[in-house]
Amino acid sequence: MAGHTENSIVIDAPMDVVWDLTNDVPNWPHLFSEYASAEILEQDGDTVVFRLTMHPDEDGNAWSWVSRRTGDPVARTVRAERVETGPFEFMNIAWDYTQEPAGGVRMRWVQDFHMKPEAPATDGAMTEHLNRNTVVQMDLIKQKVESAARALTR
């Protein structure tokens, strides 16, 4: 058994703005509320290896991991995987961007993962956590990207 989430949101902004802002990994601490830092370790074309560090949790733990992320700006897709998996056996993430007929860009995140047996959460518990947290983060990203897009048109 593995965990799986799929969440999306429509952002009322031009595709290039949505793509550029959400794929600017060094800026993620300003885009997401949960990240304290994002450090680029390697970059080769559209592939970036980076370390994300979260803000400390209620116990003072600042969780950190390394991921590899490859964007395809023509297809408007991103594929990522955790290199340092932490409590996960694996964690793969797909981001897809599609232009909506009525306007705006649908940003969709699909996360497939499996927790290690000794992890503090089961696949089911992590699925629930990710589904709750993703909605919060996507809404925050939507607000920030739409605000930035409005500022660009002034």
Q: pLDDT, tens digit, for every residue of 4-63?
A: 999 999 999 999 999 999 999 999 999 999 999 999 999 999 999 999 999 988 888 888
Domain boundaries 3-27+71-152, CATH class: alpha beta
Q: What does the pLDDT look like over 70-108, one tens digit per residue?
A: 999 999 999 999 999 989 999 999 999 999 999 999 999
Residues 54/37, Cβ–Cβ less than 8 Å? no
Domain ranges of the chain: 3-27+71-152
Indicate the pLDDT class of residue 116, thresholds 50, 70 and 90: very high
pLDDT computed for residue 57 by the predictor:
84
Higher pLDDT, 13 or 153: 13
Alpha-helical regions (H) of the chain = 15-22, 28-31, 123-152
Which among 66, 109, 70, 60 has a CA at the least distance from the CA of 86? 66
